[in-house]
């Protein structure tokens, strides 16, 4: 039987949902720790590539302005 090819985001979400079903109490502490520390991968993964590139360009422009205007 042929499996459909699934996107990496869908696979990650499916695995996360399966883990929640197997161990709901363990997921609570993971979510608390993740929310407390933040995660750049989740931030960039939740945005489109255009928005992520725009944020990077703004940061690079800001740093360049700080260096050249001193």
Q: How many domains does the chain have?
A: 1
CB 27 within 8 A of CB 18: no
Average per-residue pLDDT for the chain? 76
Question: What is the pLDDT, as a whole number, of residue 25?
Answer: 66
| Domain span including residue 20 | 8-68
14 part of a folded domain:
yes
2 part of a folded domain:
no
- pTM of the predicted structure, to 2 decimals: 0.40
How far is residue 34's CA from residue 65's CA, in Å, rounded to a whole number? Answer: 33
3 part of a folded domain:
no
Question: What is the pLDDT, as a whole number, of residue 52?
Answer: 81
When pLDDT is cut at 50, 70 and 90, the band that residue 1 belongs to is: very low
How far is residue 12's CA from residue 24's CA, in Å, rounded to a whole number? Answer: 17
Q: Write out pLDDT tens, residues 34-57.
A: 655 556 666 666 667 788 888 899
């Amino acid at each position: 039987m042929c499996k459909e090819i699934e996107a990496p985001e869908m696979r990650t979400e499916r695995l996360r949902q399966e883990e929640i079903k197997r161990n709901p109490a363990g997921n609570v502490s993971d979510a608390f720790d993740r929310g407390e520390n933040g995660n750049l991968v989740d931030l960039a993964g939740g945005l489109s590539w255009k928005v992520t590139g725009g944020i990077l360009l703004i940061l690079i422009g800001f740093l360049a302005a700080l260096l050249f205007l001193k």
